[in-house]
Amino acid sequence: MKRILVTGGAGFLGSHLCELLLNEGNEVLCVDNLFTGRKVNIHHLLDNKNFEFLRHDVTFPLFVEVDEIYNLACPASPVHYQFDPVQTTKTSVIGAINLLGLAKRLKIKILQASTSEVYGDPEIHPQPESYKGSVSTTGIRACYDEGKRCAETLFFDYHRQHKVNIKVMRIFNTYGPRMHPNDGRVVSNFIVQALKGEDITMFGDGMQTRSFCYVDDLINGMYKLMNSRDGFTGPVNIGNPGEFTMLELAEKIILQTGSKSKIKFFPLPQDDPMQRKPVIDLAKKELGWEPKIKLDEGLAKTISYFREELGL
């Protein structure tokens, strides 16, 4: 039995990960400052004798004894990471330093939840891991994108300099149950709006694309990466290569919810990437991983969750 630290464990992805790790017979120490995470996400785990929750901000040092670390702490939705951008960069950068320091002291493996945002507004399409990215250092998304890029740099330098065993995962847009209704990301916004019969808030002309991965597929890939062969560090893309425009997404959601909502257009936010789609050849080869759940199927599960969450 391993004792595993999950930072950001009370968030959307973190709570699903805690569940999987407990099911695999591990002890889980969930560390979260509850900035965007919620206690309800882990409420059902609190009775489990192998689960422990610690309210803590990763920008402060953390001295615990564990066997493995998954570092997920960081707000992920633009609305939330732009609310206190200085804290966002601190969380990625100082958080990474503290957790890498912990991994170095304990000589244990550490996985970083990085992001497709390290590619910025990409000039090549789809994006392989070798693409170095097109990121603004001064725009409103930089606190997140550059924070995550610097965290990757720290991971690779701790690996080279201190022989820390690292795994770096570049996560593409992921959706599913336990997203917060006010999360602000496109899937949750559109579903909540459709279910409430409110206008669908389309930013720009809706022709920008994203590739959406269902949460179970994503967490499965994360677990496979942590348990991949020694010496495989990544970075590795984990995402679903199915690419959709935001208009297509809205149409699917309106159809599946049977909603009478109308699409209303708003200006595109600054630095909003026009397209995004992962090349997942490396994940297939190294991890034997590929996503199984198609967008329509994942949306159906997510819509049922939101119906219940909203009491509809």
CB burial of 115-129 (b: ≥16 within 10 Å; e: otherwise) equals bbbbbbbbeeebbeb
Q: Which does 247 bind (CB under 5 to 8 A by kind): ligand UDP, ligand NAD, none?
A: none
Measure the CA–CA gap between 90 and 254, rounded to whole angstroms: 39
Structure tokens at 97: 């330093």
Check: CB of residue 80 under 8 Å from CB of residue 59: no
Segment contacting ligand UDP by CB under 6 A, of 19-27, 44-52, 96-104, 283-291: 96-104
Residue whose Cβ sits closest to ligand UDP: 101
Structure tokens at 198: 């409110």
Determine if 14 is a binding residue for ligand NAD (CB under 6 A): yes
SS3 244: strand
Determine if 122 is a binding residue for ligand NAD (CB under 6 A): no
Give how many residues touch ligand NAD by CB under 6 A. 28
Question: What would the x/- binding string for ligand NAD be over residues 39 to 78, using CB under 6 A?
Answer: ------------------xxx------------xxxxx--
Indicate if 144 belongs to the active site: yes
Catalytic residue among 144, 175, 214, 223: 144
Paired residues of 127 in beta bridges: 278
Segment contacting ligand UDP by CB under 6 A, of 31-39, 60-68, 252-260, 290-298: 60-68
Q: Give least dist CB 190 to ligand UDP, A.
A: 7
What is the DSSP-derived secondary structure letter of residue 209? Answer: E
* Phi, psi angle pair for 112, to nearest 5°: -105, 130
Determine if 237 is a binding residue for ligand NAD (CB under 6 A): no
Q: Give least dist CB 278 to ligand NAD, A.
A: 11
User: Nearer Cβ to ligand NAD, position 39 or 107?
Assistant: 39
Structure tokens at 295: 């967008």
Measure the CA–CA gap between 111 and 92, rounded to whole angstroms: 13
Residue list 27-46, contact with ligand NAD (CB under 6 A): 32-37
Check: CB of residue 74 under 8 Å from CB of residue 88: yes
Measure the CA–CA gap between 189 and 186, rounded to whole angstroms: 5
Structure tokens at 251: 């149409």
Paired residues of 237 in beta bridges: 170
Measure the CA–CA gap between 24 and 219, rounded to whole angstroms: 13
Where do contacts with ligand NAD occur on this chain (CB under 6 A)? Answer: 7-8, 10-14, 32-37, 57-59, 72-76, 91, 95, 113, 115, 171, 173-174
Q: Please list the active-site residues.
A: 144
Where do contacts with ligand UDP occur on this chain (CB under 6 A)? Answer: 61-63, 77-78, 97-98, 101-102, 104-105, 173, 185-186, 189, 201-203, 208, 210, 246, 268-269, 272
